[in-house]
Amino acid sequence: MSTPLLIVIVGPTAVGKTALSIKLAKQYNTEIVSADSRQFYKEMEIGTAKPTADELRQAPHYFINTLSIHDEYNVGTYEKQALKCLDDIFKKKDTAILVGGSGLFVNAVCNGLDTLPEANNSVREYYEKRLKEKGIEALQAELKERDPDYYEIVDKKNPRRLIRALEVCAVAGIPYSQLRNKKTVKRNFTIVKIGISLDKEELVKRIEKRIDDMLAAGWLEECKSLLPYRNLNALKTVGYTELFDFIDGKNNWEDTVQQIKTNTWHYAKRQLTWFKKDKEVKWFSPDNEKQILDYIATFAR
């Protein structure tokens, strides 16, 4: 193989990416780089569905529990660190694996970050004030009007993403989506992208079982311990926000659990929308291991 091979595994939450990545890591005797932006945070142990201790022992993992929720971190820093990590792996191995459902982070590694306007403090302060006074719904409505294409794929519950997109729209004078993915950076490794998907009924079942399992494992207690830090960006995440509201007495338990399941399904649909737009992704069922290996082999020759 003339150049190293990066196997990228993407897909919606709960579809089985972790299990597949570990099988492939064993198959290729290699290591795994996480591109799940919430699994970086060590305090968010239960509600982010991190690999278990046993799974972490089965293959070396990077970017799991590497940050505190109090750390300032962004996708630009991740790109630099992930590329350095891959460079180190490729010094020892011909193949590495990148796995995760955070499309922006996967895209940063595969294609590089886009050239966007620098942060504009006055514009950002305007939108932060608007968020505080009018709520996140006001930002969602404005972004839907200014940039409907990006609105379809953005994490609508993440105010920082909404504010950044609106800031770029205001500063550049054109939709944020038009500035994204302008030019792909050529990496010094070959990339094969594997998408994992299931039919809706099966994926919903998996999502609901995962949430039930996380709640049984003490997710609510984890949220109680994190309550003083609920305004940190890392904790503005599906599941955590609903449980914080339950702790506040805003909803009963049954409604809270159903909200988490419904919102997680909506998040999974947004992930699929993002990854389905990437025509380089080849889609498989998670149990089609032979087909996946055969497809990867066409890149590894």
**CATH code where residue 267 lies:** 3.40.50.300
Do 208 and 100 fall into the same domain? yes
Q: In this structure, how many other beta carbons lie within 10 angstroms of the beta carbon of residue 182?
A: 9
Q: What is the pLDDT of residue 115?
A: 60
Residue with tokens 């490794």: 189
Phi, psi of 47 (to 5 degrees): -80, 0
Do 47 and 130 fall into the same domain? no
Q: What is the pLDDT of residue 183?
A: 65
CB 176 within 8 A of CB 147: yes
Do 48 and 133 fall into the same domain? no
**Mean pLDDT, 10 residues at a time, the chain of 301 residues:** 90 96 97 96 96 96 97 87 98 97 91 71 87 93 93 88 89 78 79 97 98 98 97 91 97 98 95 93 95 93 62
The whole-model pTM stands at: 0.83
Question: Side chain identity at 267, as an amino acid letter?
Answer: Y
Q: Can you give 53-95 as a three-state secondary structure string?
A: HHHHHHCCEECCCCECCCCCCCHHHHHHHHHHHHHHHHCCCCE
Which residues span the domain enclosing 296?
5-114+182-300
Do 110 and 165 fall into the same domain? no
CB 294 within 8 A of CB 24: no
Q: What is the pLDDT of residue 35?
A: 97
Q: What is the pLDDT of residue 181?
A: 57
Do 110 and 36 fall into the same domain? yes
Pick the last residue of a domain from 142, 163, 179: 179
